[in-house]
Amino acid sequence: MRSVTVPMFSETSCSRFMLRVHELTVRLGGRTILDRATATVPVGQRVALIGRNGAGKSTLLRVIAADLAPDGGAVELPSGWRIGWLQQEAPAGESILLDMVLAADRERTALLAEADHADDPQRIAEVHQRLADIGAHAAPARAAAILAGLGFDDDAQRRPCRSFSGGWRMRVALAAILFSAPDLLLLDEPTNYLDLEATLWLDDYLRTYPHTVLLISHDRALLNSVPTGILHLEHGALRFYAGGFDQFEAARSAERDRLQALHKQQETQRRHLQSFVDRFRYKASKARQAQSRIKALERLQPVVPMTADPTVRFDFPQPEPLAPPLIAMEAASVGYDGVAVLRHLSLRIDRDDRIALLGANGNGKSTLVKLLAGRLAPLEGMVKRSPRLRVGYFAQHQNEEFDVSVTPIEQASRFMPDATPVQVRNHLGRFGFSQSKAETPIGKLSGGEKARLLFAMLAREAPHIVLLDEPTNHLDIDSRAALVEALNTYEGAVVLISHDPHLIGLCADRLWLVAEGGCRPFDGDLDDYRRHLAESAGIRRAGKSGGGEPVAASRKDQRRVAAERRSALAPLRHETARQEKLIERLAADKRGLEAALADPTLYDRGTGDRITRLQTDLADVSRRLAAAEESWLALSEQLEAAEVALG
């Protein structure tokens, strides 16, 4: 956590109204990270800084925060701007959380101390007037609201900072930065230490933040919701795009297509000119025209097409079918050292299930996943597993158990003792490991590459169910997109814990809420859950306000009515989601059959029976896909009408 006041680097009038990066050059370890990068961000804008891992995003934030001196160029800021920079250092100490957050407003802290010791009546009046101007007396309530939004209840806010783990202390640092309300807020992956609930709260908070924000994130939902602009860092240069991430991708795609067309047009022109020159440069009657075309060729500035970023692969092997259910729990309890964390678990998981676990950190989501993985035994009740069930388990910190001195090839060979070297390499290739990366010591891999190696290890035996506990913490946007695609084509069951709403929205069609010592299905989608959180926060605020029993009862009635509405719509939502998944799978099957029929080697071999079978299968899949799309359309119309009717 860092809050500094930064003077202007130059006295240009334009910098009074914007953050300006001018001809910025930074070299680290002999490598040029930023190469005369230039960009401007108007005051009050919320801008996402994006680029591939290693492009230099965090380096740019360090330069803006005056933590790193550039090799050339400058950063110009409005005079007297306060910068709040969330660093990767967890605070500690004996101060209670609320006091630590309040201390982040240095002006308020200094004025309160002066008010206690000042003797001059005029100065005392000035201090109290300034305290009133900055809303000092409402500050404790504002600090408490920010802490609550980030997951700290009343009791936690009064505990010393040292009593929390590193991840929770990073939330305290974030709370302090937000409370100080700097003129420029610099955030580097702020959701890495948050659960889904705190991520949704931060999304709402940043969308209404009144000052300038520069944000680094790989959370696509956040990148579409919060920013008013995108600052793209590529090959050491910066370029600004208006709008959120989807608009940025559309603009980049259009630009790529335009440059490709110009490049193709120029190459045609170049070939035409060169052909004329080759034919007539030594013919006296055409020599003048040939020379003019040679000069035209020299003047022709090459149009360099944009190259698409290398794609990342995830490919989960498909398991053979098993009789349902894969896992069934009957009145099960689970916990540690004989003390139950979750009780009365009566749930089942089938092959087609895509389940996301909701609930704040500390409620027992990871404990439930460990029970499903067989890492914990039930304290009471029964957990039944289908015979021959294979489980793939991705734990948050499991990649720390890798031997960092060996290569991915060596690590995978240990996990796959019966596989040949070629089979091991092929399996790693399913998760984006080239030959060079497969032979690089694990200790030199990036966090995202280690995560992909962990995915490769959990998928090595074609599991029937994959359990994912915060799988995206070290994945960039492209890797997250690859994971979504892989999960949606995977034919086993998925149980997911994630703070990424985009991942949950695309991969989960059922939600389970882990809260109050148990787990139950949640009827609704993420928007319903967001409203549920807002209602719960409203009830807590009403209880604090001393509004009395009638207010609490009214809130309780509102929550009951909302729950009844969600329950009434649940069957339609579930069936609509099921049809969506069916359409995705049938569409994938259709693409595969069409690709097989388009393969020229199929006809060279003269396998008439196979061709006939493929054509028959394609006709059947096309018919089923059309029926599924028609059913989905009807269900969507029914759901929309029902939502309107229920208000």
Query: Which tens digit of pLDDT belongs to each residue from 242-269?
Result: 999 999 988 888 877 777 777 677 777 7
Token duo for residue 335: 């916990």
Token duo for residue 330: 């009957």
Each residue's pLDDT tens digit, 412-433: 998 888 889 999 999 898 888 8
* pLDDT exceeds cutoff 70 at 519: yes
DSSP state of 136: G
For the stretch 273-278, contacts whose Cβ atoms lie closer than 8 Å and that sit 24 or more positions apart, written own/partner, are 273/297, 273/300
DSSP state of 97: H
Each residue's pLDDT tens digit, 152-209: 989 999 999 888 888 888 999 999 999 999 999 999 999 988 999 999 999 999 999 9
For 212, counting Cβ atoms within 10 Å of its Cβ (0-12 exposed, 13-18 middle, 19+ buried), the class is buried
Q: Of residues 433 and 574, which shows the higher confidence score?
A: 433
Instruction: Check residue 10 and give its pLDDT.
Output: 39
Instruction: Check residue 575 and give its pLDDT.
Output: 75
Which residue is it, tokens 């009862």? 553
Range of lowest pLDDT (53-67, 135-149, 220-234, 270-284): 270-284
CB atoms within 10 A of CB 437: 19
61 Cβ partners below 8 Å, 6+ apart? Answer: 49, 85, 186, 188, 214, 216
Instruction: Check residue 276 and give its pLDDT.
Output: 67
Instruction: Check residue 356 and give its pLDDT.
Output: 96
With beta carbons less than 8 A apart as the criterion, state whether 149 and 206 touch: no
Token duo for residue 394: 């991705």
Most confident of 93-107, 329-343, 421-435: 329-343
With beta carbons less than 8 A apart as the criterion, state whether 573 and 590 touch: no
CA of residue 377 relative to chain centroid, distance: 32
Can you tell me whether residue 205 is helix, strand or coil?
Answer: helix
In which band, very low, low, confident or very high, does the pLDDT at 610 lie, cut at 50, 70 and 90?
Answer: confident
Each residue's pLDDT tens digit, 343-380: 999 999 999 899 999 998 889 999 999 999 999 999 99
Can you tell me whether residue 468 is helix, strand or coil?
Answer: strand
Mean pLDDT of the chain: 83
Instruction: Check residue 333 and give its pLDDT.
Output: 96
Which residue is it, tokens 């005392």? 124
For 436, counting Cβ atoms within 10 Å of its Cβ (0-12 exposed, 13-18 middle, 19+ buried), the class is exposed
CB atoms within 10 A of CB 51: 18
Each residue's pLDDT tens digit, 33-52: 999 999 999 889 999 999 88
Instruction: Check residue 4 and give its pLDDT.
Output: 45
Average pLDDT (531-553) is: 58
Which residue is it, tokens 């055409």? 286
Token duo for residue 356: 């996301």
- The share of the chain scoring above pLDDT 90, in percent, equals 41
Biggest CA pair distance of the chain: 104
Written in H, E and C, the secondary structure of 198-259 is: HHHHHHHHHHCCCCEEEEECCCHHHHHHCCCEEEEEECCEEEEEECCHHHHHHHHHHHHHHH
Burial per residue of 574-583, b for 16 or more beta-carbon CB atoms within 10 angstroms, e otherwise: eebbbbbebb
* pLDDT exceeds cutoff 50 at 13: no
Average pLDDT (94-104) is: 90
Average pLDDT (484-498) is: 92
Average pLDDT (587-609) is: 75
Average pLDDT (610-621) is: 82
Cis peptide before 325 (omega within 30 of 0): yes
With beta carbons less than 8 A apart as the criterion, state whether 480 and 498 touch: no
Instruction: Check residue 285 and give its pLDDT.
Output: 57
With beta carbons less than 8 A apart as the criterion, state whether 24 and 70 touch: yes
Which residue is it, tokens 């591939």? 52
